[in-house]
Amino acid sequence: ALNAVPFEQMFTNIDAQLQSNTAPDIFRVDYDNFGTYAGRGQLLDLSGLLDPAIGESFTEALWRAVQFEDRPYGVPHHTDTSAILYNQAAFAAAGITSVPTTVESAWTWEEFDQVARQLQGQLPEGRYPFAYNWQGQGVTRWLSWLFQADGRFLDESLTAPAIDSDAGRAAVDFTKSFFTDGLVPQNSSVRSTTYASDLFFSETVAMTFGGAFLLPDAAELATFEWGATFSPRNARGGGDLGGNALVATAGTTRGELAAQFLTFMTERQQMNDFCATSSLLPTRRDLVEQGITFTERPDLSPVFVGQATTVRAADAAQVASPSMAAINTVLTEQLEQAFIGGLSTQDTVAGMAAGITEALAR
């Protein structure tokens, strides 16, 4: 039987079910939380149940995202990552006549900053150039800026912090400037209860960062013409690792059947149909190479599929850490102080490093 629950209740429900031994055989889990369940021994080790070659079907980054201690504990059902949605009329009024059309030509940080300031000079009081989608447990998306600076938050062994670095300071500095320079609304920080997308739909901001899943809402709620382009790049391109894995619980008595179902759900046709109709991104190499066509705004499919290619296996390995839930709490606390409380960049990254050390030790 299928047990469908709202996303907000998903982990509360599954945690209670795991504790009471009433968990389903299979459930969906986002990549941020995957490592927590795998690290607790609550997921089924699939290494002896899946076809040994199945990993070759997926992109390197997404296959890495479902590994724990180099063994698969799930399959990557789909992914998502953030691109920029923009208000075409606001761009025209500011004299911005073109946007990048390939991931390789995405705006650099400097170019993105120039675009934001160009908008700022033309927008009326009470409107802002953009909002970033790190609200509502979305703080992991801040890591895109760190990855774009060619930084890491965990070292290569995944056992110690690596965020107190030039790249870490650059990412904090740049994102702090969004608030200090009035490029984003003050009520759009990581602890805000107002989502970036709502600020875009209300035309409070001219740009928002959002995943492909946002396209159906934008088609329904935006009363203006809008388009999409790629997230910025700095030393490299980078993006957030959204989406969900499918996993089996360690206590299932039907492990072989569960593995067969996970395989079925990630076969080419099933994944193509699911992603196209749901405005989500595939994890299979062949579908990434071929591209998919969204049911809603098919013209924007290449933007999101292309943006997802900037997520690297090394990025995914860090996000899949068993300590990621605790690390997200650290990021939220430190970034809120930096963005709204005036905490210095050096103190912010030092606080992050100390908090990550504590999170890893739990």
For 250, the domain range is 11-79+242-298
71 and 179 share one domain: no
pLDDT the model gives residue 10: 76
205 and 66 share one domain: no
- pLDDT tier, 62 (very low <50, low <70, confident <90, very high otherwise): very high
Whether the pLDDT of residue 2 is over 90: the answer is no
Whether the pLDDT of residue 12 is over 90: the answer is no
pLDDT the model gives residue 234: 99
**Domain at 258, CATH number:** 3.40.190.10
Whether the pLDDT of residue 7 is over 90: the answer is no
Whether the pLDDT of residue 306 is over 80: the answer is yes
Are the beta carbons of 81 and 311 closer than 8 angstroms? yes
- 293-299, long-range: CB within 8 Å, 24+ apart, which pairs? 294/212, 294/215, 296/215, 296/216, 296/219, 297/215, 297/218, 297/219, 297/228
pLDDT the model gives residue 324: 97
Whether the pLDDT of residue 1 is over 80: the answer is no
The percentage of the chain sitting over the pLDDT mark of 70, rounded to a whole number, equals 100
Average pLDDT, stretch 289-296? 96
Whether the pLDDT of residue 11 is over 90: the answer is no
126 and 217 share one domain: yes
Q: Which two tokens stand for residue 113?
A: 């900053």
Asked if residue 256 belongs to a domain, the reply is yes
Alpha carbon distance 108, 87 (integer Å): 20
Q: Which amino acid is at 340?
A: I
Asked if residue 304 belongs to a domain, the reply is no
129 and 204 share one domain: yes
162 and 260 share one domain: no
Asked if residue 47 belongs to a domain, the reply is yes
Distances (CA, A) of 160 to 38, 196, 205, 325, 360: 19, 32, 38, 16, 7
Q: What is the pLDDT of residues 254-274, one digit of tens each?
A: 999 999 999 999 999 999 999
Mean pLDDT score of the chain? 97
The percentage of the chain sitting over the pLDDT mark of 90, rounded to a whole number, equals 95
- pLDDT tier, 6 (very low <50, low <70, confident <90, very high otherwise): confident
Full strand arrangement of the beta sheet holding 26-30 = 26-30, 242-248, 75-80
Q: Which of 256, 283, 298 is the last residue of a domain?
A: 298
pLDDT the model gives residue 164: 98
101 and 63 share one domain: no
The residue among 34, 69, 66, 72 whose CA lies nearest residue 52 is: 72
Whether the pLDDT of residue 220 is over 80: the answer is yes
Q: Quick one: three-class SS letters along 165-189?
A: CHHHHHHHHHHHHHHHCCCCCHHHC
Which residue shows structure tokens 């003050």? 186
Average pLDDT, stretch 144-155? 99
Q: Which two tokens stand for residue 56?
A: 């070759």
Average pLDDT, stretch 308-313? 98
Asked if residue 135 belongs to a domain, the reply is yes
Alpha carbon distance 188, 109 (integer Å): 20
The residue among 190, 193, 227, 192 whose CA lies nearest residue 208 is: 227
Q: Which two tokens stand for residue 216?
A: 């159906």
67 and 190 share one domain: no
Reported pTM? 0.95
